[in-house]
Homo-oligomer: A and B are copies of this chain.
């Protein structure tokens, strides 16, 4: 029985995984983490009203979710001040990034991103046969000018930019993004990943006309709304571009309970305010813990702080492993120069107490 042949593209794809989950590390270590502050999850959790919605809807889980996500899109449109057909809901930003890449990228098309930026985006580009063109960070920020230049030089179909950035936590001046949009080369889409935007000051939110067909903005309920496990993201932009997702998305892919809970979460902006202030305090605490150990925290507008461990990538990797050995889960940027850092998610006071205890020990062990 010969194995049937995959497509030539599928056949040559590597069996890589964008991220190893904390559960896999726990299985390897043989015990659970005591502080789960590595995946930029929102440890402060969903709105209590959203939790209640999940519980109330559990018995109705036998019904498919509305494939049009009509009510959630209506609520998002109201929230964003746009029309319902200018927003599409998907299985997290990860799912929507896959759809966007599939719409615009075919084999051999170039796609521009930053060296060390979100690996899951790269996974989708490679998965659809695109060629990644990577631009270095400059001063721990994504380099907007260099991204634009690379896109022009390579005649790229897509530019990816996260604002605030992951994994560094830095952000762009809104005027810089607005100028970038104005300067986009012909036939190039900007995917603006704003997964962490709600953690940032409102003053950094750029103004992009919704009618501009060259920009797709993506946001999520996974971060500030505390519902990573429920898989709800959304993309918004010019209506004909948003309508194109209908040609390829998994129409019945949206969890019914998640849709309803997301709508409730959106309506509870008071809880969002609470989360924002908890996250701001946690960022300060992480910075203080880092500085107490003589390390440099990088200023962040997201729910995590990249902490410069003062050495190279191998040293930061040792620090991370020593934290793991002390039951603290963190992650780190994948490539230089970001990989001199470990990336610590905004935790609850108890999580950060553990961090404060474990970090000096981990550093000492890593230096040995």
Interface of A is mostly: loop
Question: Nearest Cβ distance between residue A185 and chain B, in whole angstroms?
Answer: 10
Q: Are A91 and B250 in contact (CB under 8 A)?
A: yes
A277 within 8 A of B: no
Q: Are A62 and B227 in contact (CB under 8 A)?
A: yes
Set B5, B65, B120: member contacting A187, Cβ < 8 A: B5
Q: Scoring A residues 165 to 197 as 1 if CB is less than 8 Å from chain B, else 0, what string do you get?
A: 000000000000000000000111100000000
Query: Measured between alpha carbons, how far is A294 from B113 in the docked complex, in Å?
Result: 65
A105 / chain B contacts, CB cutoff of 8 Å: 7
A250 / chain B contacts, CB cutoff of 8 Å: 91-92, 94-95, 98
Set B63, B92, B261: member contacting A252, Cβ < 8 A: B92
Q: Are A6 and B54 in contact (CB under 8 A)?
A: no
User: Which segment of A42-50, A285-293, A330-338 sits at the interface?
Assistant: A42-50
A157 within 8 A of B: yes
A141 within 8 A of B: no
A252 / chain B contacts, CB cutoff of 8 Å: 18-19, 21, 92, 94, 120, 231
Query: Measured between alpha carbons, how far is A294 from B107 in the docked complex, in Å?
Result: 57
Set B4, B14, B50, B188: member contacting A188, Cβ < 8 A: B4
Q: Are A212 and B1 in contact (CB under 8 A)?
A: yes
Query: Measured between alpha carbons, how far is A109 from B20 in the docked complex, in Å?
Result: 34
A255 / chain B contacts, CB cutoff of 8 Å: 229-231, 255, 258
A16 / chain B contacts, CB cutoff of 8 Å: 247
| Chain B residue nearest to A95 in the complex (CB) | B250
How many A residues have CB within 8 A of the partner chain? 95
| Chain B residue nearest to A7 in the complex (CB) | B106
A27 within 8 A of B: yes
Q: Are A253 and B187 in contact (CB under 8 A)?
A: no
Set B6, B59, B66: member contacting A21, Cβ < 8 A: B66
Within 8 A of B (CB), among A74-108: 91-92, 94-95, 98, 102-106
Q: A252-B120, A255-B229, A258-B255 are in contact. Are A240 and B3 (CB under 8 A)?
A: yes
| Chain B residue nearest to A221 in the complex (CB) | B61
Q: Scoring A residues 237 to 262 as 1 if CB is less than 8 Å from chain B, else 0, what string do you get?
A: 01011011011101111111110010
A9 / chain B contacts, CB cutoff of 8 Å: 106
Query: Measured between alpha carbons, how far is A17 from B252 in the docked complex, in Å?
Result: 10
A357 within 8 A of B: no
A153 within 8 A of B: no
Query: Measured between alpha carbons, how far is A255 from B243 in the docked complex, in Å?
Result: 25
A238 / chain B contacts, CB cutoff of 8 Å: 3
Q: Are B243 and A257 in contact (CB under 8 A)?
A: no
A2 within 8 A of B: yes
Q: Are A4 and B104 in contact (CB under 8 A)?
A: yes
A360 within 8 A of B: no
| Chain B residue nearest to A211 in the complex (CB) | B1
A106 / chain B contacts, CB cutoff of 8 Å: 7-9
Extra contacts, 4 of them, besides A23-B70, A24-B66, A255-B255 (Cβ < 8 A), are A8-B106, A20-B67, A41-B63, A46-B58
**4 shortest A-B CB distances, which residue pairs?**
A229-B256, A54-B58, A3-B213, A23-B66
11 A–B pairs (Cβ distance < 8 Å), ordered by A: A4-B187, A7-B109, A16-B247, A21-B252, A43-B62, A54-B257, A58-B58, A63-B229, A228-B256, A231-B253, A257-B257
